[in-house]
Amino acid sequence: MTTNEQRSPDVSICIVTWRTKEQIAACLESIFETIQGVGFEVLVVDNASGDGTVEMIKDAFPQVRLLVNAENLGFPRAANRGIEEAGGRYLLLLNPDTLVGPKAVEDLVRFMDGFADVGVTSPTIRNPIGTVQPECRRTFPTLATEFFELTGLYRLFPNHPVIGQWRRTSWRPQAPCEIELASGAGMMIRREAMEAVGPLSEEAFMFLEDLDYCYRMRQKGWKIYFYPDAEIIHQGQQSTRHVLPRIRALSYDARYKFFRMYHGVGSATLLRLMVVFAMAARLLLYAPLSILFRGPRSIRPRFSLQESWHTLCWGITLKEPELA
């Protein structure tokens, strides 16, 4: 059922896309094939993809409300444009490289209808191989969790209650439960909560919006829940795959701004210093490896070298890397 059949839909599905023509086509197919029993509308905001995405959606999915930006505005600015146009009781923020599982949207709507104090609900978000992505049930980052991430200790002790707490890889709830932080790749938001909290933060180009939004939700007294039975598949990094070496820098830029906004300049500066020292150490490690290795064995160290360089440059200048 779409908005053509129901004037006020239950769910407005908002998708921001940038150069993901094949992925957004598969995503839209999964939406229209799987959702039954709830009224919904689909809004796609295209960030000047220039890869035929707009033309494909117009031809293959005329029922989609398509908003086209003249330039890449970043995720939150584009998403806010879609949110302004949304008319549903709930808003489902969805990445273009996701596939919606059977009854996932219906289950999320049914759950939130039953709990009026829940502002955001996260489904289970799986990788294509079936493993659960930790981003769908994280805790908020702290200086301690950032230290464990930057030093790689979380890889050595993924199930440790302190060292592995941010990713929570050992925590596999089988029933709905309250969490701190949902993932912007797929989260359902109650309209009343959106009206109370306001639009997504546009302080960063991307990666800050779910951190900031869930934090403000909790400040306003709304609960955030994880609903394991609703599932989506997320390929991950499809819209940014051609600029992957810059993504870590954008991620730390978002976390730096989150720390500055809610924990003060001192904590944000400590995070920045940790990133600078960690990336400098990675450069010293991967520079010789990228020279020593040849062929396929050189791909990983060369990528890590580029990634560390872009992130180090961000740490020194605090300038967001540009995506082209």
Tokens, residue 148? 């464990």
pLDDT at position 241 is 57
Ordered by start, the domain boundaries in the chain are 11-138+179-234, 241-317
The pTM of the full predicted model, rounded to 2 decimals, is 0.90
- 3-state secondary structure at position 208: coil
pLDDT at position 83 is 96
CATH class of the domain defined by 11-138+179-234? alpha beta
Mean pLDDT of successive 10-residue stretches along the chain, which has 324 residues? 59 96 96 95 96 96 97 94 96 96 97 98 94 86 94 87 77 88 94 96 90 96 96 76 79 95 97 97 92 81 91 94 73
SS3 track for 119-182: EEEEEEEECCCCCECHHHHECCCCHHHHHHHHHCHHHHCCCCCCCCCCCCCCCCCCCCEECCEC
Task: State phi, psi for 171 to the nearest 5 degrees.
Answer: -95, 115
